[in-house]
Structure 1
Amino acid sequence: MINYAELEKKIKKHELDSCYIFCGSDEKLIKDHVEYITNSVLDKNFIDLNYSKFDGSKTDFETISDACETMPFMSDKKVVVVYRATFLEDNSGTKNSNDLKNKNFLMLNEYLKNPPPQCILIIYYTFLSDREKPSNKIKKLDKKACVIKVDKLKGESLQKICKNLFEGAGAKIGKSELVLFCSQVDNNMNIIINEVEKLVSFANGKEITKKDILAMMPQKSENDIFNLVDFLSQKNIKRALDILNELIYRGEKIPFILFMVTRQFNLLFNIKLGTENGKTKELLSSELRLHPYVCEKMISQSNKFTMKRLKRNIELCLETEKVLKSTSTDDKTNIEVFMVKTVM
């Protein structure tokens, strides 16, 4: 398993693999990597004729394999991309869905024994949270394909990307302001792009200041709250408690954590109610004042709950808030009890 820097070196040396498998939590970053390989391999004048794309959660691997077998047009190579490759995740869900996943995974294994030389197959699977790790299936493919774990950008790499985004939007930002921005923003490319756009618009042609950044940036803990609720949806209390402890260690107060969890459950309730009434992602993001990307993630998260369970969890939030305000018992114990009750 390699990282993006190692992949970039291989591509620049024209050391191409027949199959690339990407995994990570930032889909935008993964898509950028896929685009980098595609643009390095295909002539842009013939890209439409030598590029195919399939939804891995719906397409059987036989169809994908057939596309890989066809010859490229006016090119040495063709590229086949498989996104949302849920057959790379460890089994979960219904027996029928697991049967399809296992069949596709076995066919991929067979395909990799003798891949066609004219095709580069690119497969990617997006993690549900930042804390998810590569599945056992992905690990098994490490020696048969080039597996790339797309980690979050950090340090100078993140600063370079953000600086390019600001400059591309025609905005000025100093070095210390750039460092502050990178320390405050959630490490997700879609969110980063959105926050850059907001700041550029807010500054309105002036150089971006630290005051602007602190005024406009959301708190980083919002992403942790999303992940905490996500683990509660999976009834994974251990991982949820790990995030709770991280938040407390960083100095977040327990009443504020409960407030943020309550807000998340309320948003999920309204989103689930909206989707059941036929509302689109665009309408929901407008009504609830959410970025479309965030709204899409929350729609996915809301599907993990029933309306009954969301109502019950909101009631538990209100009960726990009363306990925190009216008793002198340990706040940490009370919120831990609350979290256990949400998964019962």
Structure 2
Amino acid sequence: MIDIFTLNENLKNGKAENCYLLCGSDEKLIKDTVNYIVDMNVDKNFRDLNYEEFDGTFIDSFEPVINACETMPLMSSKKVVLVYRASFLNDDKSGNPKLHGENAFKCIYNYLSDVPDHCILIFYDIFKSKRDKPGKRIYKLDKKICVVRADKIKGYQLESRVKEMFELRGKQIGRVELRIFCSLLKENDLNILENEVEKLCCYVLDEPITKDDIKVLFFKNNYDDIFDLTNPIANKKIKESIQVLNELIYKGEKIPYILNMIEKQFYKLLELKIMLHYKEKKQNIMRELNMRSDYAYEINVAQSKKFTFKQLKNAINLCLTAEERIKSSTIDPKTEMELLIINSIVYEK
């Protein structure tokens, strides 16, 4: 049994099989992989002629699938036959009862040795939860066809894969930088990951990869803009704070939105500081405050340490007062925001 990354690498290197079973909890990842195999083997102009699919939930027998596999491709050297939601290949008895019996499974199992060279037969089975595991039938099939565990990889396994991609390009990346980079990746698709690695390598050229390089390319969003504003406030830098505020307004961010995000960040820092005070575990804190990476946790902890409890409570009260004044008076909203920043900074411990 191989993982989705190994499958993608094999396909890219021309190591293809003519029968696959993809199983896992991530249906989107599986569908993307199936489409990739189809696109590699079937001309899009003749896709309707050389691609057939069957819903494993409803087919009465395996004969239509066999007939599709045996039919020669038209205007192409290959055809692809897909049987999706093929839970009858696992031990889940809630699937298709007409194909789940031992006789039906034996028929399918025996045919897999006879799939013609012109056909690529693909099954996929979606697990009901991430905790589900392949059953005995899938392990039995693994001895005959290529079985692929199609789950998003993470943690050390993901970091190891990504590190290999950098090394193939002659680049070394530090452990901290690698962890930050992987925490920001939104897809586990091999091609997308390689594009992101290539982008970073092209950006740094012959220079070492730094955290700032990664942040410039991949970590700039609205939340980071707000973090960039609360950070100089924490460091008591009035001029820099006002400058970041002006940049946000120039970029088109509305003042009520900026105020709301600042308030949320101060609330988050206060909650974080309280949880740290009571020695809550890191994983509990990340889950409660919706921090999706170790890097996000570390930078928020560092920022929270620059405020006292009183300073954070005062900053939140200042946000609430500013919000009320902006809504109920004719005061210039930008001036009110500047006063909020100044008062947050000059407040005594």
TM-score normalised over the length of structure 2: 0.47
Structure of higher CA gyration radius: 2
TM-score normalised over the length of structure 1: 0.47
